Each structure stands twice: as C-alpha cells, then as structure tokens.
Structure 1
Amino acid sequence: MFQPNIFALEPHHYHLLDMPSQKTSSDSDLGRVRDDDYETKSGTEMELPSGDEEQDPNQRSKRKRYHRHTQRQIQEMEAFFKECPHPDDKQRKELSRELGLEPLQVKFWFQNKRTQMKAQTERHENSILKADNEKLLAENNRYKEALSNASCPSCGGPAALGEMSFDEQHLRIENARLREEIDRISGIAAKYVGKPLSNSYSHLSSHMPSRSLDLGVSNFGAQSGLVGEMYGGGDLLTSIQGPSEADKPIIVELAVAAMEELTRLAQAGEPLWVPNDNSSEILNEDEYLRTFPRGIGPKPLGLKSEASRESVVVIMNHINLVEILMDVNQWSAVFFGIVSRALTLEVLSTGVAGNYNGALQVMTAEFQVPSPLVPTRENYFVRYCKQHADGTWAVVDVSLENLRTSPISRNRRRPSGCLIQELPNGYSKVTWIEHVEVDDRSVHSIYRHIVDSCLAFGAKRWLATLDRQCERLASSMASNIPSGDLCVITSSEGRKSMLKLAQRMVMSFCTGVGASKAHAWTILSATGSDDVRVMTRKSMDDPGRPPGIVLSAATSFWLPVTPKRVFDFLRDDNSRSEWDILSNGGLVQEMAHIANGRDPGNCVSLLRVNSANSSQSNMLILQESCTDSTGSYVIYAPVDIAAMNIVLSGGDPDYVALLPSGFAILPDGPGLNTGPILDIGSGGSLLTVAFQILVDSVPTAKLSLGSVATVNNLIKCTVERIKASVMSDSLD
C-alpha cells in the first residue's frame, strides 16, 4: 500500500509536499544546434559531409555539399514532431530507416525544428508585450492630458494640479452622475411598482444591508470573497455588464409579472403540481403552459424543464430571511453548497418604508453540485422582493438572458423563489419554487439520476440547506451551552470564534470542489468515474491560507452503500485510520465538540492526532460534519496549535491559515429501497473526495511532476481504502 512520507518538512502540518523537480535527459537537447557539424538552410537543407571530406579536411573547407530533404521526408518528420518533439535514439533510427536518412540528419532536423518553434513563440510573445506597452503608454498620456485640463466640478473654472487630484475629480463627477442615475431609476420603478421611492443618495447607502445576524453571516460572506473564493476566479462574473437604460423599464415589468406567477404557483395544487418519488412536488409542464401562456417566451430548442416545489418550517424570523435573500453576501454564505459565485450588478430600487418591500436588483450567479463531474449553471436575472397585503413576503428571480447580446444561454431561470409566512416564536414557513430550463447533456452518467430527479438543483435541496443553516445559526447564538461542549473552549466567545473558523473552512471547500468556470481542472487519468482532476493555485499575501503552491485534487465515484453509512464511517474518529493516510495511523482524540443541529452528525470538532512519530505528535485537526436529506459533508483541515489557542480564547479566526480537504456525499436516489443496492438510482451514494496540498512553501516555485504523481497516488489510495472499508462493513 502506498505510504507517502510527507511529514519531513512540516511537523505540525500534514499539507506540505516538497518534491524535487524532474528533468528528462532530452531536455538538454532543446534549442541546441550543432553548426560546427552541419548547417541548415531554410529548415530543409542540411550540409552533409561526404566520406572524402572526412578523410581530407582541406577539401572540406573548399567545398560545401547540401542535402535537400524531399517533400515526403519533411512531411513525415513534421507529423512525428507534432506527436513527439524529442525523439529518443531508437525513434530516430526508425525514422532514418523509413526516410532513407542518417540518424544524425534526423537528430539535427529535430534540434533545428525545436529552435525554430522557440523563436516563433518568442516573437509572438514579444509582439504581445509590445502591444501592451503601447496601450499602457497611451492610457498614461490620456491621464496626463486629463490632469492638465482638470476643471472644478462646482464652479466649472480651471483647477490647479495642487488643488485636486485626478482620482478625486473623477470620483466627484462619478458621484454626481450616480445621483442622477438613482433619481431616474427610482422614477421608473415607482411607475411600475406603484409606490413612491426615495430619491436621495443617502437612502441607497443607508438601506444597503450591512446588518448581520450574530456570528457574522453577512460580514463573513464579504470577507471570504465568495466570487470564486477558493481559487480567485471572480473575473468571469465581474466581466458581465449591467442593464442598459432602455432595458430597465422592461426589467421592472418582467419582475412584476414574475412575482404574480410565483405567488400563483405557490398557492396552486393539482393538477399543476404532482408528487414525485423524493417527497417533493414537480410541475406538470403541459398544465403550466396552459395556465401561464406568456412569461419569458417559449422554451429554446435543446433545453429541458426542471421545476419543483417544497415547504418547510425554519427557526428564523421572516425579516432576517428576507435580509439574507436580498444581500448577495449573506445569500451566498448561507447557500454556499449551491451558490459557487454571485454578484449584484445593479440596484434598481432599495425598497420603501425602511425595508425591502419593492426592492429590485439585477444579479448574476453560478449554481453548482459539489463535484467536478456536474457542470455549473450560470444565470443573469432580476430579483424582486415584495410584501403582500396579508403580511407574507415573497422574493422572486427571473432570467434576463433574452436582454443580453451574447449567444443564447444554455440555462434560463423562469420565475423561481420563495414565499415566507411569519409564525409565532420566531419561526417562519417557507415555500420554495425552483423552475429552470437547462441543457444538461454534459452531466456525467453517474449523476444523471440525481439531476433528473430535481435533487441536485431543485427546491428540496435549497430548503434543506436553509433549514440546516438556520439550525447552525441558532446553535451559535445559544447561551445555555452544555458543559460537555466546552472542553478546551474557555468562553462563549471562543465557541463563536471556532464556529466562524469552521464556517470559513466549509465554504472554502465547497466553492473549490465543483466545476465552476473559475476553475481549471485537468484530468490526470481516463478511468471512467474514477478520474482524478487536479488544479494549482499560488497563494500569496492571504492571511487565511499558507503561502506557496497549492495543488488541489478531486474525484467522484458511486458506492452501493447508503449515504448515511458513508457519512457515519467518514466522521467517526475510531475509523479514521482506515482511510486517512496522512494521519499515519495515529490515534485520533476529540478535544472539543460543538453540536450545531438536531442531527448528531451536525457538529464541529477539534481533533488531536497522537502519532507514534514524535515529530508529528499533537497535530490538531479542525473538522465539521453536516448532513440533511439532500447531502452530507465531512470537511477538515490541519491547524496550527498556537493559532488555535488564540481562536479558542475568542480571538479573530480570519488570520488562521487553512487548506481544507474532505468529502461531499450525495444520495443517488430517494433511498426508499430496503433491499440490496445493485444499481445507480436505488439508494446508493455519490462520493466526492478532495484534497488540498501545499506542495511548495515558495509561491514562485515551479510545480514538479513528482508532486502531482504523489497527490494522484494519495487520492487514489484513499478512494481504495474507503471502498474496501464501507463495502466490507455493509456485508457484515
């Protein structure tokens, strides 16, 4: 069994792999041309010494003999070069035999070809750099000209350079433009929504939600970035432009119509809604088209409909729920397992009467399943919030894809969202509707059933996630903490700090394990569902991550075992040695335990690994396990003892460096079959295994092939151990 020695450099962190770079013998030939032996002419001619010239050096200096390769010889070598630019001796001899050339002629042709390709690449890179330089120079000249012609925005008179910087002048002009923009949009929204909207600039800033529930759900979302948080890929979403002036009246009208449709959908029964096999309700598409003939237009060719409805009572009041849904940071933080990236592009209305009634905002978001085998779904949409006459709140999304000039999206969001009804004692009843049209043909076969059954992206998963997060938040705010929970935690502040650190760890794992377009997964091996996918990231100047080169690896596969069995096995300290190669067989002891939900599997733990190796003893692991009817997670990260002591005493956890690894477990079916699990869809598990490894503590270092091979072996060995353990236990 593979046992990598990865403890030598960092005794207290088992996430560092430092492997030497590898260099093949053929690398030394790259770009070297033996002009003293041969001369090339236009890449096709080569000086070839005859036998007489080698015997008589004087004749050699007087006469040069050129050998011109035939068209066939050139074509054959060009074709071989595309497949193998560095042929070895055996390959060169075979080529020389086939083409009627000397092995040395073949060798130097390939050397010259490599040199030629390198020169072409350098010329291309130089031209790009030159163009960039000219662009920067032109931009710099424009700034200088603007500075020289600066004028006072108040009086219009000339402004000396010492009076106002260009940045300050630009900001003042921009602020004035924004004030006019807000007044104009407020007028448009008031016309369609039917309620007066404040037109002051201060009203917008005062009602942009900076409020947060205890434990900092809002602030935490903002701190973690959430737009490609794990790998810094936010440029994709931020490149999308907001709506034009001409589009805004259309957007308001679409939002009002979508709100009416959502309200009717939430209150309707059969035949519009019919039950399905996972205890949710699915939409009767034919009945829907008869009931709502208009909407955002007919379904585009190649897209299929997914529509589901679910209701649940959650332990959170309706006002806080509305705040979460209308603040992109809070929304992304609560639904981190589903929302991989999100951004508010423009706020058209902030609402009236000091709340979100009538609020309108244009957004873009990317939705995911925790596996690299399921493509993400990206939407451009408007979100509208309204309080109905009976006191019920509603929040609706509807796609604006038809307003974009880009090619037709392969994913549209028909009116989707939720109705929130206030209940006594701080509870709320939430009815959620998820209705999309999507092209899902690229979904991997093992995830086909969970996607088709609406368990992957449907209403049931949204509400199960919300219910679990509400429980977690209520637990963090609890004051009657059992004494057994505290252990090494000395105060309630330390408890909150540890929960906040665990929340960041889980969010970082979830945003990095999916197939987000911000990621650049590379498949290492083609072995069906056991493909290992890897990507690298440079970590620099980030207090939340250790500096260096981070290698991430993930794989997903199916197990004929129930999700509960897999979840219980992976979170159990006593069975950790059966799969955790990195703990090196050490005894795992739980030092602190914080329950954060009704299910005993929902908890945060601090673990100590007591290894026989003294250099690795007393290693700490922060772990969170969480589960609901639509999925489970076991996520962990090694933590520094000194940093963890600060957290346990109530210190700021944002500066604790984490590289989370772990597991995402999804059900492949409703799980109602009590017999043996023989095929996908009959109650088995879809397990995603993901590791983050610090392969070099120097961010500028180059990744070696040895490091990649070691991580590949590590994840494959872990998968084999898990399969062997859970399968043997299920047979007992």
Structure 2
Amino acid sequence: MDGLHGAGDNNNFMGLFGGVNNFEADFMAQLKEEGYESHEGSENFDAGSGDEVDVEVELVEGDGQQDQPPKKKKYHRHTPQQIQLLESFFKECPHPDEKQRNELSRRLGLESKQIKFWFQNRRTQLKTQMERHENAMLREDNTRLRNENHAMRTKLNRPICNTCGGPAVLNGSRMTPEEQQLKLENARLKDELTRICVLSNKFLGRPISPFARSIMASAAPPPPPAPSSGLENVGIPVRVAGPSSLGFPDGFSIAPPVDPMTKPIRGAAEGGNEALHEKSMFLELAVCSMNELIKMAEVNTPLWARSFDGAREVLNHEEYMRIFSPHCGSKPRNFVPEGSRETAILLINSLAAVEILMDVDRWAETFLCMIARASIIDVISGGISGNRNGALQLMEAELQVLSPLVPVRRVKFLRFCKQHAEGIWAVADISVDLFPDTIEGFAFANCRRLPSGCILQDMPNGCCKVTWIEHSEYDEGLIPDLYRSFLRSGLGFGAQRWVATLQRQCEFLTMLMPSANPGEEPSGINLSGRRSMLKLAQRMVDNFCSGVCTSMVGDWEMLYAGNIGQDIRVMTRNSLNNPGLPPGILLSASTSVWMPVSHEVLFNFLRDERVRSEWDILSRGGLMQEAVHIAKGQSRENCVSLLRANPVGENATGMLILQETWSDASGSLVVYAPVDVQSINLVMGSEDSSFVALLPSGFVILPDACDPLGTGNVLINGGSICAGSLLTVGFQILVNSVPMAKLNAESVETVNGLIACTVQKIKAALQLA
C-alpha cells in the first residue's frame, strides 16, 4: 500500500515477524530505543513535573578534559497557573506537535524547549507510575499464588475423606513425597509453557508451536471429530506470494488458519483448560484477521475497483475469493457480501485514533449516528503496559442506519490492536459467530463481520493517515426495496461513511482546543459554556437517533394500531423518572421517503432559517433568526445554533430552538428541539445541562441514486448521474403530561398528520410535488 510506511519500515516489520533467532536481538533493540526515548524524556525528571533544569558546564582549559561534572544547576519553577494549563492540555493531547508547543509557549511565556521538556517529563512520570502500579499488582498475584500453592501441597500431603472427615485411605500404594513434588512441578511447567506460547502468538504474530499444542491437547479432553472447515469461510490467507510493501519477506508464511470446529467454545467460568483453549483460539483468530487486513490494505487492482460513480473503492469479490478463500463454503441464505476501502487524513495522531477505537464508550460517542449500542463482553488481553499494543477485546454492537425501515446489524466480534512499527498501528475486527455450530445456544445473526478494520500511520505534521476496510455479509431479505441499492453500493455501512464520520469528529475535537483568547469565543460564550451547550446538543441528537432507528435501546416500545401508516414507525415511552425529558407519555414517529433531489440541495434547504416557515410549524409563520452560532468544524454548516422565532404580529416569545446540523460525504443531519430562554442562560453560564428537558425532531438525509431495477448501479440519463436522496423524518411529542395516562387514537393521528404534512410542505417548497 503506497504511502503506508517510510523507507526504513521494512526493517521494523522484519524484526516484528521474523524468526525466533532474531527475536532477542530485536527485543533488545526495541528496549534500547525505548530507553533512549525515556532518557530523552526524563533527563529533567528529578525536577518534578512542574520544573525545568538548565545545566551549565564549565570546561577546564589546558588539561584537555572535556567530561567535567556540571558545576552549576539552575532550576526554573513553573507557576501554579502554568502547571494547571499544562496539565489540562496534557489530558487532551499528551504528544503535542511543534505548532501546539509554540502556541503554549506564547501563552505561558515559556520557551518552546521548556514546553517540550515538561511534556517529556510528564509522560515519563505517568509511565513510571503505571509501571509501579503494575509491579505492585504482580507482587500481590505472586504472593497469592504462593499461598494457594502452599495450601494445595498441604492438602495433598494430608488427604481428608469427604464422608467421615478423617484421614483418607488411598487405593493402591501411596505416592511418595518425591512423586508428589514431581507431579506438581510438571503441572506448573505445563501451565507456564502454555502461557508462554499464548504470549508468543499474541505479541509476535507467530502461531503456537506443535509441541505446545501437544501439551495443551494432553491437558484438555480430546476434541470430538468434526469436518474440516477451517477458516475458508472467512477468507484467512495461508501464504503471501511476492514481496509485501508492509515489510513481509518474499513468500513468508503467516499464521496458518485455525479450525474452530476442533474445540467447542466455552465460557471462562467452566474452568482452566477450556477457558485457556478458547482464549488461545481467539488470539489465533485475531492474528489471522490482522494478517488478512494488512494484505487487503496493500493490494490494489484487481482486488479493489472504483465504484460506478468513481467516488469509492469497492471489493472485487471474485478476486477476493481467488486470493484468500479458494474453497469458500456457502453463505447463509439471503446473505450478500459488501466490501469497501477508503483512505484519508485525520487531524489527530495514530495513538489518539487507537484510543477512540479501543475505548468502547468513546467509540460509540464518536460514531453516535452509526452505533446504537456497544459494550465489551470480555477483555482477553489488556495489551502491553502503557499502551494498547496487543490488546484483544470481545465486543458486541448494534450498527444502524438512521431509518425506521432498516434493521440494525447486531454483531459479536473480536477487536485486536497491534503496533507494527514506530508510528504504525492496526486495529482488526472479525466476528466470532462465523461458526454458529461451535457456540452453544447461538442464534444466527443478521450480519457477519469478516476481517475489517483500519491501519493508522503517523504523518510529520502531527496528523495520521488512515486506510479503512469494511467487509461483511448481511441478510438482504430483511432490507426493504427502498434501501437495497443504497446498502449494496456501500453507502450505508461502508468504509467511506466510517472515515467521513471520524474525520468530522476529529475536526470537532480540534475546535474544542483553547483558543488564543481564553476569555470570549467568537460565539460570545466562554469555553466552559460552549462545551456545556455542545453536550446538550449531543444529548439531543442521541435522543433523536434512539427514536428513529430500529434498536430498542431508549426504553421505547413499539405501538401497533390500525390507523398507523405502513411505512411509519410509532413508539411510546413513559418518561416519569428521566430528568432530561418532560414527564408524561411521549410519542416518537418516523418515516423514510425517497426524494428526487441531491442530499446537498435538500440539506441546504432544511438548514436555511430564512425559508424555515415554509415547513416548520414551530416558526408559526414567522421568520427565524440565528441568535448563537457554535462551530463544530471549518465548514459553517457543521454547527450548533440557537434560533429565535419571531411570530408574525406578535412580540418575541421566550421560546428558542436548539439545533445541530452537519454534512459530509456520507450524508447530512438536521436535529432541533424547542427550549426556553431561562434554561439556555443557565447552560451558557457553565451550568449542568442535564436538567434541560428536550423533545427532539429532525431529518436524516442520505445520498442515493435512481435505481428502479434494484441492481445497485447508478442510472445515467443523458450522460449525467440522476442523483436522489433518502429522507428520514422524525418527531417526538408529549401527548399527555400525566405519567399514568393512556394513549388515545387522536394522539396517533396527530403525529401521523404532522409527518405527512411536513413531507408535503418540503416537496411543495422544492417544487417536487
């Protein structure tokens, strides 16, 4: 893959995946590098995180000696205000680039070299604290294991009868103390060897040795016979032909496929050998998926081809089957494959991007409109001390397209993170339910996540280059005709959507950095108040998404009634104990329609406050004015704003409209909710925003193209692309302020009429009716 590494990266990869004989040398070289970095970062560590040390050396003339000890040390102690600002910046960005250091230097009145040394000292201090904590934990584990070992030996030397409680009489000759000691030592060595093999497989990318496999097989019950299926169904590579641009040697054999049918998957609670075998299998599966991800990232034509409109890279499935899976088994019924690749530049470094992907809460928050729910089932490996290298997590998630017509994709997968070289990281995903027969009580999901993920490479300017690959199979029988071509093209869950969302969120993170003037912001709100407003808007968007998608994460209950339209989804909830919602019975109604206009045109129309009265009943026929504008990116359309309604013939009321809008290559969003002036004044005064009750409504606009035959291709009329868009409309209303009240047919008809009227007004305003 072009541009993925520098000229010297081949040696890094050779050292990482090379033979066993080179491991010790490479490991010592890596320690030396880390030691040099630690020395550079800790040369002033004794002065503390808030001090800098200037060392002046005076040379003695005439004796030819230049290695004299320092004669004088000069200490510079930072002020509490300087340390406070440096600590606050360190939490956001522990590795500032030169531009950020210069900015801090200007604001704090310090030299750029002092800023650099402070951050080096702080990172070294943090690393030392973590190592001390881990050492203390290891010592505690060692003491506990010694005590358990002593207790077990005592019980073996003095067996007790379970029936009478007296000394047990063993059948046959009693084992001598020497034989007992040898048996215990043998068990200990087997366990230690097994753990070493697992660690070798996890961190070095090498498979477990045959001898270790024999040890594990002897320690566990023999597996039941099963047909040889291997990992052909997911396309795990066996051998890389030709030189690799990521540093693999010519013809190097990577981790062989594992047959998950050789051992049923069991929970860790069932005990030692089964749990260890399961984790070992997960590790090998993760390494294999990482190998395939790297190969797919570096191979170009004919594995990857441009989409019909030339905007995306899509996977050539026939070529994929030839390269990775020549004997692929049959897919489940109605399952169709989709694969895409996208390359872009992120405004954060690779370490920050890795943290977003490996922290499940930050991952779900970053991709708020794409992830309905996410959680970590088990942390198989936490990685090497101080970073995510070697981390392996078993996760589950619900992936969504914001439409009431598209079912969420429920996936259970492994996420494996590995540092392949200095400044190069990779995060790989693969479903663990690819072989449902091996999982007791498993119900087949509607989506299988094949080896997917991203490769991150640091750039000289502090940014990083990301190569994102999405590859999955999903049940197309559950998809309505309106969205089939949209999902087939990869616009719904493809790499372009993930990367566009991540780019937009990274741009938003840079906007949250303290500006040159920490007092007033361009919006007229200080930094604390601006963050409080953004948090309120994020909660509004989150509530809107939960009321639109098909996931049941927001305590919503489906409402079935004869007067509900076929394409309209109505849900209800009781918000008695939720401070962020008005108390009472809430209704959420949403629907999706196809519009013969591009998503950019439709988005610009809906976000324009000058024409809002043509479709929004909250404007009451008057004009809308933007009172506050908080930018979330370089583009003005990505923002949070406060709109003031000026009804015709009336004075300004106390009602405002909180609105968030954004648009990128994957689609657009307009979400709004009425709020009162008093609450907003408290929020902008840096108060907690959780007390503000919100009932969000809005629009989701996704790009689409005319495809009447459902072939997944773009229809060309007269040489031009006939573009369209998929519009999702959602409203949430309070139908009764009494929590125990019952819904009536009139409330459902009201919300049905509101949706139909709004869609009709939009079509009429755009002259589409």
Corresponding position: 1:341 with 2:350? no
CA distance in 1, matches of 2:469, 2:450: 10
Corresponding residue of 1:273: 304
From the superposition, tell whether residues 483 and 714 of structure 1 become closer, same or farther in structure 2 (CA, over 3 Å): farther
**Partner of residue 463 from structure 1, selected from 482, 499, 503:** 499
CA distance in 1, matches of 2:328, 2:414: 13
Corresponding position: 1:394 with 2:430? no
What's the C-alpha RMSD, in Å, of the aligned pairs?
3.4
From the superposition, tell whether residues 298 and 265 of structure 1 become closer, same or farther in structure 2 (CA, over 3 Å): farther
CA distance in 2, matches of 1:333, 1:381: 19
Alpha-carbon contact 1:185-1:348 (below 8 Å) kept: no
Q: Which moved more, 1:648-657 or 1:516-525?
A: 516-525
Corresponding residue of 2:345: 313
Corresponding position: 1:593 with 2:633? no
From the superposition, tell whether residues 187 and 588 of structure 1 become closer, same or farther in structure 2 (CA, over 3 Å): farther
Corresponding residue of 2:201: 192
Give the counterpart letter for 2:202 in structure 1: V
CA distance in 2, matches of 1:275, 1:476: 36
How much does 1:442 deviate? 2.2
Corresponding residue of 1:293: 325
Corresponding residue of 2:335: 303
Corresponding residue of 1:504: 539
CA distance in 2, matches of 1:481, 1:404: 58
Q: Please give the secondary structure, in 2, of the residue aligned with 1:353.
A: coil
Tell me the alpha carbon deviations over residues 222-263 of structure 1, each in whole angstroms, 9 at most, x when there is no partner: xxxxxxxxxxxxxxxxxx988972532211110010011101
Alpha-carbon contact 1:586-1:612 (below 8 Å) kept: yes
**Partner of residue 629 from structure 1, selected from 658, 665, 687:** 665
Corresponding position: 1:541 with 2:580? no
How much does 1:586 deviate? 3.0
How much does 1:484 deviate? 10
Q: Taking structure 1 as the reference length, what is the TM-score of the superposition?
A: 0.64
Give the counterpart letter for 1:326 in structure 2: M
Alpha-carbon contact 2:603-2:701 (below 8 Å) kept: yes
Corresponding residue of 2:120: none
How much does 1:291 deviate? 1.6
CA distance in 2, matches of 1:651, 1:186: 51
Q: Please give the secondary structure, in 1, of the residue aligned with 2:533.
A: helix
Tell me the alpha carbon deviations over residues 355-393 of structure 1, each in whole angstroms, 9 at most, x when there is no partner: 000001100011111101111111011100000035310
CA distance in 2, matches of 1:480, 1:541: 42
Give the counterpart letter for 1:514 in structure 2: C
Give the counterpart letter for 1:668 in structure 2: D
CA distance in 2, matches of 1:351, 1:724: 57
Give the counterpart letter for 1:299 in structure 2: K
How much does 1:724 deviate? 0.8
Corresponding position: 1:515 with 2:550? yes
Give the counterpart letter for 1:192 in structure 2: N
Q: Which moved more, 1:605-614 or 1:314-323?
A: 605-614
Q: Please give the secondary structure, in 1, of the residue aligned with 2:671.
A: strand
Tell me the alpha carbon deviations over residues 270-313 of structure 1, each in whole angstroms, 9 at most, x when there is no partner: 11111113521111112212221289965334311101100110
**Partner of residue 490 from structure 1, selected from 521, 525, 535:** 525
Corresponding residue of 2:291: 260
Give the counterpart letter for 2:506 in structure 1: C
From the superposition, tell whether residues 186 and 540 of structure 1 become closer, same or farther in structure 2 (CA, over 3 Å): farther
Corresponding residue of 1:689: 729
Corresponding residue of 1:433: 469
Structure with the larger RCO, 1 or 2 (CA within 8 Å, 6+ apart): 1
Give the counterpart letter for 1:497 in structure 2: S
How much does 1:541 deviate? 2.1
Correspondence list, 1:101-500, <5 A: 189-194=198-203, 245=275, 246-278=277-309, 279-293=311-325, 299-401=331-433, 402=435, 403-405=438-440, 406-480=442-516, 486-487=522-523, 489-500=524-535
Tell me the alpha carbon deviations over residues 480-530 of structure 1, each in whole angstroms, 9 at most, x when there is no partner: 57999645x4312111211121122122222331122555444667998x7
Alpha-carbon contact 1:242-1:346 (below 8 Å) kept: no
How much does 1:476 deviate? 2.2
How much does 1:610 deviate? 2.3
Alpha-carbon contact 1:525-1:532 (below 8 Å) kept: no
From the superposition, tell whether residues 309 and 506 of structure 1 become closer, same or farther in structure 2 (CA, over 3 Å): same
Q: Percent identity?
A: 48
CA distance in 1, matches of 2:753, 2:719: 28
CA distance in 1, matches of 2:203, 2:357: 23
Corresponding residue of 1:577: 613
Corresponding position: 1:719 with 2:744? no
CA distance in 2, matches of 1:615, 1:707: 30
Alpha-carbon contact 1:189-1:348 (below 8 Å) kept: no
From the superposition, tell whether residues 649 and 589 of structure 1 become closer, same or farther in structure 2 (CA, over 3 Å): same
Q: Please give the secondary structure, in 1, of the residue aligned with 2:477.
A: coil
CA distance in 1, matches of 2:526, 2:422: 43
Tell me the alpha carbon deviations over residues 32-84 of structure 1, each in whole angstroms, 9 at most, x when there is no partner: xxxxxxxxxxxxxxxxxxxxxxxxxxxxxxxxxxxxxxxxxxxxxxxxxxxxx
CA distance in 1, matches of 2:716, 2:304: 30
Query: Where does structure 2 lack aligned partners over 5 or more consecutive residues?
Result: 1-147, 152-190, 206-265, 708-712
Tell me the alpha carbon deviations over residues 649-684 of structure 1, each in whole angstroms, 9 at most, x when there is no partner: 1222222221211000001139999998999x8311
Give the counterpart letter for 1:515 in structure 2: T
Corresponding residue of 1:641: 677
Alpha-carbon contact 1:610-1:618 (below 8 Å) kept: no
Query: Where does structure 1 lack aligned partners over 5 or more consecutive residues?
Result: 1-152, 157-181, 197-239
CA distance in 2, matches of 1:185, 1:463: 39
Q: How many residues get paired?
A: 505
CA distance in 2, matches of 1:320, 1:641: 37
From the superposition, tell whether residues 394 and 668 of structure 1 become closer, same or farther in structure 2 (CA, over 3 Å): same
How much does 1:425 deviate? 2.8
Give the counterpart letter for 1:394 in structure 2: A
Alpha-carbon contact 2:606-2:670 (below 8 Å) kept: yes
Q: Taking structure 2 as the reference length, what is the TM-score of the superposition?
A: 0.61
Give the counterpart letter for 2:661 in structure 1: S
CA distance in 2, matches of 1:189, 1:700: 57
Q: Please give the secondary structure, in 2, of the residue aligned with 1:247.
A: helix
Alpha-carbon contact 1:525-1:531 (below 8 Å) kept: no
From the superposition, tell whether residues 688 and 703 of structure 1 become closer, same or farther in structure 2 (CA, over 3 Å): same
Tell me the alpha carbon deviations over residues 433-472 of structure 1, each in whole angstroms, 9 at most, x when there is no partner: 0000111122121212111100111001110111111111
Q: Please give the secondary structure, in 2, of the residue aligned with 1:313.
A: strand
Q: Which moved more, 1:298-307 or 1:496-505?
A: 298-307
Tell me the alpha carbon deviations over residues 197-230 of structure 1, each in whole angstroms, 9 at most, x when there is no partner: xxxxxxxxxxxxxxxxxxxxxxxxxxxxxxxxxx
Q: Please give the secondary structure, in 2, of the residue aligned with 1:323.
A: helix
CA distance in 1, matches of 2:728, 2:361: 26
Alpha-carbon contact 1:610-1:617 (below 8 Å) kept: yes
Q: Please give the secondary structure, in 1, of the residue aligned with 2:388.
A: coil
Alpha-carbon contact 1:386-1:394 (below 8 Å) kept: yes
Correspondence list, 1:523-538, <5 A: 531-538=567-574
Corresponding residue of 2:105: none
Q: Please give the secondary structure, in 2, of the residue aligned with 1:668.
A: strand
